[in-house]
Structures are given as C-alpha cells and as structure tokens.
Structure 1
Amino acid sequence: MTDLADRRGAGTEVYQPAEDTHLLADAAVGEIPSRARVLDVGTGSGYVAATVRDETGADVVGADLNPFAVRQAADRGVPVVRSDLVSPFRADAFDVVVFNPPYLPRDEDAERDDWMEVALSGGETGREVVEDFFDTVGRVLAPEGFALVLVSTLTGVEEVVEYAGERGFSAAAIREESFPFETLTVLKLRR
C-alpha cells in the first residue's frame, strides 16, 4: 500500500519537464562530448539526464534530494543517487555537471511545505541553492571539466555570474530564451 501511495504522489511531487528543462537539455546535448562522465544535479524526472545519455552517448548519473524524483529518474533508466547536490561523489569524478537549480525567489504567500517547494524555491533571493552548488561543484569536476547551469532573470543572472567568479569560475552564456515573465540563460562555467 505504501509503495502505491508513493507512486501516486510522485506526479505532483516531482518537477516535470518545462521550458527551462528543455533549454538546458538542448544546450547540454550541444556541449557534451560522447564518452563524457556527466552528473545531472537535481535530476527531477530524469529528463535532462536521459536526453544527454541518449543524444550524446555520455555516461550520465542523476542526483536528487527528492525520493519521488529518484524513483522517476530510475524509472526512466537513469542511474540515480539520492543526495544533496554533489556531496556523495568523489573528487574529479565528472567531466560535466549540469544543474537546473530551484531559482525562484521565496514567495511567502505561495509557500508550500512539500517537495515541489524544494524544487522551485531558491530561497530569499532565488540564488541560495545555486550558490551552495558553486561552493561545492569544483571538487567533483575533472581538471578540464565544466558545469552547465540554468539561471533566470528572476534570480539575477549578473549576481550569479559574479558569485561564480568569486568561486573561481569563468562564465559564458551559451543559450538563452525569453518569455513574457523572465529570460532563461544557460551558463557554461569553467575553472
């Protein structure tokens, strides 16, 4: 009974592919070489990980804190680990790390106490989770590795680039798409 209840909740507890997901997946496919070792942080449904694997032939692993997301990604055939960002992975393990972080600034009027809140809210400024990512991702990147991170004008692209720079990363916008309420940008970050 518990397993059935868990599966029913998975559809509403996991961020499903949307415009940001597709933009990151398309950018990743264009940047990631075959045979690369790739980590998809915050894999959610596993869409980006599966797309990168299928389109490039890369060796892709997903990671997500949400147990429902871990199950959905696994159901999609993605090897996945339940983890907070990159914590369980060894140093220099990946050639590429991709991340579609929770980037919406906290809206106290719309807050929910569930996994979707975790998937969407980037804290007070919308940058807290991506800043934690920049503080830790360098450890798991191979020496010539890079990260692909999706950011929004709602989060403050310049502020994200500045923070990344303070952590030793150079950032270049490689893909961008505008919507009535925000512009999404995929940044490629190297040390």
Structure 2
Amino acid sequence: MRDLAERRGMNISVYQPAEDSGLLARAAIDRVQGRVLEVGTGSGWVAAQIAERTDADVVASDINPHACRQATERAEKLRAEGQRGFDVVRGNLVEPFRDEAFDTVAFNPPYLPEHPDGTPQDDWMEQALTGGEDGRAVIDPFLDSVGRVLKPDGEALLLVSSLSGYDEVLARAEANGFDHEVAVQESYPFETLTVLALK
C-alpha cells in the first residue's frame, strides 16, 4: 500500500488529496449546508474546499495527530488570507461529538483491502489507506455510529470504492436505517468510486 501512496504523491504519514478526495469535495460542495463534519480529514484539503466554497460551518477530525497538525495549518492559512477557516478536532470517527450536532457528515474512509500481513498499527499512512481484510473495517463502525451525530434531516456523504464491496456497504447502510442515492460516481482503471448520500 505504501507503493500506492508514493505513486499518488502522498506524504508518508498524512493522506494527501487524490481522486477520491476530489470526488468527495465535489459532492460536498453541491450538497452541504449548516454545520458540517469531515471525518478522516487527512491534510484538511476537503474541509478547506467546503469552507472556501460554501457557507457551511466546518469541523474536521482525524485520529492521526500528524493529520490534525497539517489540517490545522491549512485552516490557519485560510484565515490568514481572510477566508473562512475550519476547526480541527482529534478523534476516532464521530466519538468526540454530541448527538445531533451536524447537518452533514462527509467521510473518505480507509477502504483498500489490507495486505495479508496486516496493517502496522504505528504506520499512519497504512491506516489511512487500508480498511481491514475486506476494506470495510472502518466503514462499518462509521455507518453504525454516524446517525447519532446527524440532525433528524441530516445527511452523510460516504465515499465507497468498488474494491471494498459496494453492495455490502449499501446493506450495512440500510441496516442502520439509511436511504441512499448516488451523489457522484467516477470509474478509474483500478476501481469505481461513488459518493453515497445517506439520509
């Protein structure tokens, strides 16, 4: 997976913008309103796009301390340029946040099936890319918990790769009471990426 990261030009400890980031940002800019949380913000690029191009009040979170630092620097740079910034919180998925706190939650999760040898727990880049044996080790707990922090009419925007089982993700979303529609979708030589809008 590190080879993939290097081919995509990523920092080895913080996920940098790639095709999936651009797709999530495009969907979010078209759909978000009110108070927005971007889970797993990485470098903060998607959160910055939302803050710059919408009127939303944006919070970004990540479990990776290096990502939180980089996202905070990005937010501070925006503010120094007289633009809207965003707040950064370190935490796992939606755990730090109160019930019904957000109108929209956006997430580009780790979704690549991991190498048979597993994912080193001290390798932040590997954790940003890999989602367990089936690619859904982070997606499933997100779907199980995100409804708690959404307002009653809120929406979650979840990026899903064909590599991690599109139908299985839909089934988990439906089991958690979500209706879904495709917000945006693109195919690449190695995968199809879809941003699902879950209500």
**Matched residue type, 2:29:** V
Whole-angstrom CA distance in 1 between matches of 2:32 and 2:176: 23
**Matched residue type, 1:32:** V
Q: Secondary structure at the match of 2:106?
A: strand
Identity of aligned residues (%): 57
Deviates more, 1:180-189 or 1:110-119: 110-119
Residues 11-50 of structure 1 aligned to structure 2 (within 5 Å): 11-33=11-33, 36-50=34-48
Residues 58-97 of structure 1 aligned to structure 2 (within 5 Å): 58-77=56-75, 78-97=86-105
8 A Cα contact 2:62 2:89, kept in partner: yes
Map of 1:155 onto structure 2? 164
Map of 2:138 onto structure 1? 129
Whole-angstrom CA distance in 2 between matches of 1:19 and 1:103: 14
Whole-angstrom CA distance in 1 between matches of 2:72 and 2:146: 23
Whole-angstrom CA distance in 1 between matches of 2:160 and 2:137: 12
Unmatched tracts of structure 1, length 5 or more: 1-9
**RMSD (Å) for aligned C-alpha atoms:** 1.4
Give 1:11 deviation, angstroms.
3.5
Map of 2:78 onto structure 1? none
Whole-angstrom CA distance in 1 between matches of 2:161 and 2:178: 18
Moved runs in structure 1, 4+ residues, more than 3 A?
Answer: 109-113
**Matched residue type, 1:177:** E
Q: TM-score, normalised by structure 1?
A: 0.90
Give 1:110 deviation, angstroms.
7.9
Q: TM-score, normalised by structure 2?
A: 0.87
2:180 to 157, 166, 171: 171
